[in-house]
C-alpha cells in the first residue's frame, strides 16, 4: 500500500525540525543540508506522493531499479498537469557494478558510490560516448567494516586525485556510511573522519570548486551526520514511517 502524501509531509516536517536543531548546535544554516529521498522500499505510487510532498531529489540503491523507475516516473511526469517545484533528479546511492553503468548513466544526475579507479574509468568511457560530464562522489569506508564497500581511508587522497583528472567526471564530494550500530557516537566518529578527509582534500584543491559536498547520514543517523557537516542526507525509512 502506498504511503500517503500527508504522512510523508508530516515525516518531512519532523526530519527538517531535527535537521534545524542539529544545525543550530553545529552553528550551521539548515539550507546547507539537502534530503535525497531513497526509494528502495517504496512502490511507484509512493514515489509519486514523494513528488507531491516536494521531494524531487530521489535516490536508488540498485542500478536496474533506478533505470526502470526513472522511466516510469518520466512517463508519469509527461502526463501530469501540475508542474513540480523543481526537476526530478535521480541519484545512484548504492554499489554500482561496472556492467550496470550503461543503463544507469542516461538517467542519473549523480553517482554517490564510486570506490575504485576501474569504475571511474568505465564511467569516464560511457560518459564520453554520451558527450556529458557526470557528477560523482568518492565512497569512503570510514568505519573500516569489511562488509562495506568504499575505498580505504588511506587511499582516498590518491584515488580522489586520479578521479578528478578524468575529463568526463566531476568529483563533487565524498560519501560514507555509518557503522552498523545503535550507538550514534560510533557513527559520529565515521562522519567526523570523512569530514576531515573532505577538508584536507579541499585544502589541496582536489576537484577544484566542484568539490563541495559530504553525502552522509541515513534514517538512523542523520542527526550526528548533520552535526558533523553533511550536506546531503540519504533518507528512506524515516520518510515512510
CA distance 92 to 62: 8
CATH number of 5-240: 3.20.20.10
For residues 150 and 179, the answer to whether their CB atoms sit within 8 Å is no
| Maximum distance among all Cα pairs of the chain, rounded to whole angstroms | 51
- For the chain, domain boundaries: 5-240
For residues 176 and 142, the answer to whether their CB atoms sit within 8 Å is yes
Which residues of the chain are modeled with pLDDT < 70?
Answer: none
Model confidence pLDDT, tens digit, residues 28-86 = 999 999 999 999 889 999 999 999 999 999 999 998 889 999 999 999 999 998 889 89
| CA 194 to the chain's CA centroid | 14
Which pLDDT belongs to residue 109?
Answer: 95
For residues 110 and 159, the answer to whether their CB atoms sit within 8 Å is no
Q: Computed from CA positions of residues 73, 107, 110, 100, in that sequence, does the dihedral angle turn out positive or negative?
A: positive
| Closest CA relative to residue 119, chosen from 149, 157, 144 | 149
- What are phi and psi for residue 111, nearest 5 degrees? -120, 120
Which pLDDT belongs to residue 148?
Answer: 84
Helix (H, G, I), strand (E, B) or coil at 222: helix
- 177 burial (CB, 10 Å; 0-12 / 13-18 / 19+) is buried
- Please identify which residue in the block is written with the cell numbers 573532505: 198
For residues 154 and 195, the answer to whether their CB atoms sit within 8 Å is no
Which helix H or strand E contains 119, and what residues bound it? Answer: helix 117-129
Question: Which residues partner with 59 through β-bridges?
Answer: 38, 91
Which pLDDT belongs to residue 29?
Answer: 96
DSSP state of 36: E
Which pLDDT belongs to residue 59?
Answer: 97
Query: The pTM is what?
Result: 0.95
Helix (H, G, I), strand (E, B) or coil at 206: coil
CA distance 218 to 123: 26
Which pLDDT belongs to residue 179?
Answer: 86
Amino acid at each position: 500500500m502506498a504511503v500517503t502524501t500527508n504522512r510523508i509531509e508530516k515525516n518531512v516536517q519532523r526530519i527538517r525540525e531535527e535537521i534545524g536543531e542539529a544545525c543550530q548546535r553545529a552553528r550551521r544554516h539548515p539550507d546547507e543540508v539537502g534530503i535525497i529521498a531513497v526509494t528502495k522500499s517504496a512502490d511507484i505510487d509512493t514515489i509519486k506522493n514523494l513528488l507531491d510532498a516536494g521531494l524531487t531529489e530521489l535516490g536508488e540503491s540498485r542500478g536496474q531499479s533506478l533505470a526502470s523507475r526513472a522511466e516510469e516516473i518520466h512517463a508519469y511526469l509527461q502526463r501530469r498537469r501540475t508542474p513540480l517545484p523543481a526537476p526530478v533528479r535521480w541519484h545512484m546511492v548504492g554499489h554500482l557494478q561496472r556492467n550496470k553503468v550503461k543503463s544507469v548513466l542516461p538517467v542519473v544526475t549523480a553517482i554517490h558510490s564510486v570506490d575504485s579507479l576501474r569504475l571511474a574509468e568505465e564511467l569516464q568511457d560511457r560518459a564520453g560516448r554520451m558527450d556529458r560530464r557526470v557528477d560523482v562522489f568518492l565512497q569512503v569506508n570510514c568505519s573500516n567494516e569489511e562488509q562495506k564497500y568504499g575505498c580505504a581511508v588511506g587511499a582516498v587522497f590518491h584515488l580522489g586525485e586520479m578521479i578528478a583528472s578524468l575529463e568526463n567526471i566531476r568529483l563533487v564530494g565524498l560519501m560514507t556510511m555509518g557503522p552498523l550500530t545503535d550507538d550514534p557516537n560510533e557513527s559520529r566518529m565515521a562522519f567526523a573522519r570523512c569530514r576531515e578527509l573532505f577538508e584536507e582534500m579541499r585544502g589541496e584543491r582536489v576537484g577544484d570548486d566542484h568539490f563541495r559536498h559530504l553525502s552522509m547520514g541515513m534514517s538512523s543517523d542523520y542527526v550526528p551526520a548533520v552535526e558533523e557537516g553533511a550536506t546531503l542526507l540519504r533518507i528512506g525509512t524515516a520518510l515512510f514511517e
